[in-house]
Every structure is written in structure tokens, then in C-alpha cells.
Structure 1
Amino acid sequence: MARMFRVLGFFTLTIGLMAFAANMLEMAFLFFFQTVFFVVLGYLKFTERTYILLFWAYMIVSFTGFSYWTVFEMGKPL
């Protein structure tokens, strides 16, 4: 299970590098932060239950943040 968090770190690093190349700096820094988070978690020796709970907590926070952003921030007229 710990290796899966390192894989998530690899994919977030890839997305962050593509966003950085496209000059989308806010998105790139967000994904670089997630990369560090996932790689650090991947090298900690937690139990499988802890890893699953951490992943669920991450999913709840990310989906709540995404939903807030798309409803309240993107809906504002310029």
C-alpha cells in the first residue's frame, strides 16, 4: 500500500511538470505540493488501514475543495 502513494506522487509530479510547462503556475505548485505529500507518506511505515484512512481523508478534502472552487469561484463573472 505504501508503494501506491509513491505511484500517486509520480503521477502528480508528471501533472505538475506539464502544468509548469504550460505556464499554469498555481496548478503546478498545487501538484508539486501533493507530490511531496504523497512521497513522504509513501516512505512512512503505516499500517494498511492507516493508508486507506489517509487516502479517504485526502479524497474528501480534494473533492470538497474542487466542488467549492467550481461552484463559488468559477461562477463569478469577471
Structure 2
Amino acid sequence: MARMFRVLGFFTLMIGLMAFAGDMMEMALLFFLQTAFFVLLGYLKFTEKTYILIFWGYMIVTFTGFSYWTVFKMGLPF
């Protein structure tokens, strides 16, 4: 399970590098921070249940933030 967080770190690093190449600095910084978070978690020796709980917490925070941003900051097209 720890290896999956390292894989997530790799993919977020790739997305961050593409955002950096496209001059999207805020997005690149966000993904570089996620990369550091995932790689750090990948090398900690947690139990599988702890890794799953951390991942679910991450998903809840991410989807809540994404939903808030798309509804209240971007506005609805109505």
C-alpha cells in the first residue's frame, strides 16, 4: 500500500511539471506540494488501514475544495 502513495507522488510530479511548463505556476505549486506529501507518506511505515483512512481523508478534502471552487469561485453558467 505504501508503494501506491509513491506512485501517486510520481503522477502528481508529472502533472506539476506539465503545469510548470505551461506557465501555470499556482497549479504547479499545488501539485509539487501534493508530490511531497505523497512521497513522504510512501516512506512511512503505516498499516494498510491507516493508509486507506489517509487516502479517504485526502479525497474528501480534495473533492470538497474542488466543488467549492467550481461553484462559488468560478460561478455557474446559468
Q: Could you tell me how far apart the structure 2 residues matched to 1:72 and 1:59 are?
A: 20
Structure 2, unaligned stretches of length 5 or more? none
TM-score by length of 1: 0.96
Q: Could you tell me how far apart the structure 2 residues matched to 1:7 and 1:20 are?
A: 20
Q: Could you tell me how far apart the structure 2 residues matched to 1:73 and 1:29 are?
A: 19
Structure 1, unaligned stretches of length 5 or more? none
After TM superposition, give the deviation of residue 75 of structure 1 in Å: 1.0
Aligned to 2:56, the other structure's residue is in SS state: helix
Q: Which residue pairs with 1:65 in the alignment?
A: 65
Q: Tell me if 1:2 matches 2:2.
A: yes
TM-score by length of 2: 0.96
Q: Matched residues, percent identical?
A: 82
Q: Could you tell me how far apart the structure 2 residues matched to 1:55 and 1:20 are?
A: 25
Q: Which residue pairs with 2:34 in the alignment?
A: 34
Q: Could you tell me how far apart the structure 2 residues matched to 1:72 and 1:28 are?
A: 22
Let me know the Cα RMSD of the aligned residues.
0.9
Q: Which residue pairs with 1:48 in the alignment?
A: 48
Segments of 4+ in structure 1 off by > 4 A? none
Aligned residues between the structures: 76
